[in-house]
Amino acid sequence: MLHLPLAAPVPEALERRDDHRARGRARDATARARRRAAARVAVDLHEHRVGRVGASVAAERSVAHADVREALARADAALRGAPDDQRLTGHTRLFADARARAGVLAAREREHGERDHEPRRSHHGAIVRDPRGILPMECGRSRATELDARANRVGWRRMDAPHFPERFNLADYFLDDRIREGRGARTAVKVGDRSWTYAEVQSLANRASHALRDRGIDLEDRVLILLFDGIEFAATWFGILKAGAVFCMGNPLATEADLDYLLGYTRARAVVADASTLDRLAPALARHPRCRVRLIAGDVSEEMQRAGFEPLDRAMASASDRTENADTSRDDVAGWLFTSGTTGKPKGAVHFHHDFAFNTELYPKQVLQLREDDVFLSVSRLFFGYATGTNLMFPFRFGATAVFFPDKPTPEKLFAEIAKHRVTVLSNVPAMIRQMVDHPESESADLSSLRMCLSAGEALPAPLYERWRGRGWCEILDGIGSAELFHIYISNYPGDVKLGSLGKLVPGYEARIVGADGQDVAPGEIGRLWVRGDSAALCYWGDQEKTKSTFVGGDWVVSADLFTRDADGYFYYSGRGDDILKVRGMFVSPLEIEDCLATHACVKECAVIGALDEDGMTVPKAVVVLRDGWSPNQETIAALQEHAKTQLARYKFPRIVRFVDALPRNDRGKVLRRELTDA
């Protein structure tokens, strides 16, 4: 068991934060200079484009061509020293496009007016200038590809990443901005037959913020959320951000031992929990007197109130529904996201305010192309960062509607919620996708409202995808993200799903696949995935060694996942680095064997690990859950092994096969491979 030191952020992490802020200030100054220079060039270009320099069309083309080239040279000089990670503004984006087109301007008719000067809107998206200074630089994928190709030819590096102002608060970005946009009367949240508008959620969040502040919660104090999916979760989450505090989220069904760990590890000064947790939470809190603010959603007995547990609704009812958000920086800590804990105790990845907004402007906006009229539903619970993004942050960013339900997700519950609320975007995981496809109601379930289903958490087998689509249901967009980078950074795109692949990079992110020698591997070869993007966490709290080995080179995040990438840029998951087997001197990916076995008619689901044979040699061991009608006998084992031999190299077939009723999983749906050893 991994025991993490309960300490303040490591010195290196604090230095990284201070350096990050200093770079941010320098970046702002550089950006202002670049905008001024680019604006002057853009004015010059525009004047020539609207015909102020020539008497005849022919002469005008010639002069414009020459002057554009001169203007480009001036802008090149002005911008050449800018750092690589500087975001392009609207004018510099226009300039980049103009630069790529300079060689053909003389052959084109002069076009009067603003048509080519203004950013173009396509059916994929539009370049948007945010009134508060956030520049998402959104564009359609076909347009993006064209610009990238041009940029490569002329030596211009295009950045899709958004830029955020120095003073920045996530509650303002996700919630208050919708009110300013006039969306206060739109439905924000639905739970059963109840609904809340954006204005009502804002009022509740303001009250939650006051309730915390009035009890002494201040900037960067950590608040542990132990709530089921519901309006209380949303109000508390936004209220924490409005107070300038830091959210940490845990499973309300966690054991007393796990709650004890979370309280000690986070050193939370406040906890907001469901009343059903009190039998486990109260004894755990007795060992953590630092956590003095204890707000409980639900019925709280007089005995518990005397012990310091206060009803959340009463605390909020006595608070004002108006507040000023804390004056936070984009580089202040906003929240922790916990790793899945498949190899030990969960680690807290510490994230800034701008980390969450950065991904939101890229993955849901440019890849998923989410809309105001979307209705969201999630299989994963809100305390899991995947769902916090897809079922809270993303819908609130676009003024859409999020559907919550506190119950345990089941196929029956999902079918009912989708039909009742006409859900359009379902956040799913492979384990539930399998259950939904196998369920007797799947033939009659009404999923016609869905326009996309997202999948993450573990690899989605191609046969399972085909069975889902065989029901006539929508596309599944499989992708991969992590607590270290907040959310999805590699994904399949709508209309561009490649079976067996996790898709392509999300705009604004970069990736490398690195071999054991530290060098990038060739296409098709397995290596460790390195990812770079401005949503990367500051550190793992209290774990200096893991921080140093994961966050390297200033901005690269070294994943434990192994991948291959083909020549077209599609990424393929090959397992975790610590899962890879070495059989007869050859490296074997368990995922390859699992995918093969999943195509046999008897296999409902399976997992492959390494085991020792009678000679002490490592061999693949398959742990299989059988479909109804199949018997766990030697004939079935022989059939599975023969099936694998026909599709895989002989050294890869599972020498050992065991049958179980269900695969062990954590509360986030991931298979706990370490528990399969004794199966």
Average pLDDT over residues 635-639: 96
The segment(s) of the chain belonging to CATH 3.30.300.30 are 579-676
Which backbone phi and psi does 458 adopt, to 5 degrees?
-160, 165
> 574: closest CA among 458, 456, 674, 666?
458
Tokens at 513, concatenated: 């696949």
Query: What pLDDT band is residue 54 in, cutting at 50, 70 and 90?
Result: very low
Residues of the chain with CATH 3.40.50.980: 194-328
Question: Whole-prediction pTM value?
Answer: 0.70
Closest by alpha carbon to 495, among 102, 87, 31, 142?
142
Render pLDDT for 420-429 as a digit per residue (tens, 0 to 9): 999 999 999 9
**Residue 378 clears pLDDT 70, i.e. is over it:** yes
The pairing of strands 452-455 and 603-612 is unpaired
**Cβ–Cβ under 8 Å, residues 263 and 291:** yes
Is residue 37 scored above 50 in pLDDT? no
pLDDT at 650: 83
Q: Are strands 375-378 and 425-428 parallel, antiparallel or unpaired?
A: parallel
Instruction: Give the closest residue to 537 by CA, choosing from 507, 559, 570.
Output: 559
The half-sphere exposure of 552 on its side-chain side, counting CA atoms within 13 A, is: 11
Q: Which amino acid is at 89?
A: T
Q: Is residue 275's pLDDT more than 60? A: yes
Q: Where are the alpha helices (DSSP H) in 616-658?
A: 634-647
Mean of the pLDDT values across residues 276-304? Answer: 97
Confidence of residue 238 (pLDDT cuts 50, 70, 90): very high
* Rounded alpha-carbon distances, angstroms, from residue 220 to 4, 326, 350: 21, 11, 11
Best CA proximity match to 464, nearest among 655, 284, 627? 627
Please report, for the chain, how many H helices and E strands are present, in that order: 21, 26
Query: In this model, does residue 431 exceed pLDDT 90?
Result: no
- Asked if pLDDT for residue 324 goes beyond 90, the answer is yes
Q: Are 227 and 441 in contact (CB under 8 A)?
A: no
Q: Distance between CA atoms of 22 and 186, rounded to whole angstroms?
A: 39
Confidence check: pLDDT of 154 > 50: no
Q: What is the pLDDT of residue 344?
A: 65
**Is the predicted pLDDT of residue 174 greater than 70, yes or no?**
yes
Q: State the amino acid at position 383 in one-letter form.
A: F
Residue 318 pLDDT more than 70? yes
Is the pLDDT reported for residue 121 higher than 70? no
579-676: CATH topology: GMP Synthetase; Chain A, domain 3 (3.30.300)
The better pLDDT of the pair 55, 551 is held by 551
The C-alpha atoms of residue 176 and residue 186 are separated, in whole angstroms, by 13
When comparing pLDDT for 144 and 383, which is higher? 383
The per-residue pLDDT for range 57-114, each reduced to its tens digit, is: 334 334 444 444 454 455 445 444 544 333 333 333 333 344 334 333 333 333 333 3
Greatest mean pLDDT among 61-70, 125-134, 173-182: 173-182
Q: How far apart are CA 372 and CA 314, in angstroms?
A: 33
The better pLDDT of the pair 32, 52 is held by: 32
Q: What are phi and psi of 655, to 5 degrees?
A: -70, -25
- pLDDT tens column, 507-548: 999 999 999 899 999 999 999 999 999 999 999 999 999 999
CB 543 within 8 A of CB 5: yes
Q: What is the DSSP letter of 503?
A: B
Structure confidence at residue 438 (pLDDT)? 93
Q: Give alpha helix (H) positions in 504-616.
A: 544-550, 590-597
Minimum mean pLDDT range among 78-82, 319-323, 416-420: 78-82
d(CA 679, CA 669): 19
State percent of the chain over pLDDT 70: 75
Domain 194-328 has what CATH class? alpha beta
pLDDT at residue number 522 = 96
The pLDDT tens digits for 390-409 are 999 999 999 999 999 999 99
Record the tokens describing residue 384, joined without a space.
Answer: 């899991």
- Lowest-confidence pick of 120-124, 380-384, 663-667: 120-124
- Of 5-19, 281-295, 446-460, 563-577, where does mean pLDDT reach its minimum? 5-19
> pLDDT tens digit string along 445-478?
999 999 999 999 888 888 899 999 999 999 999 9
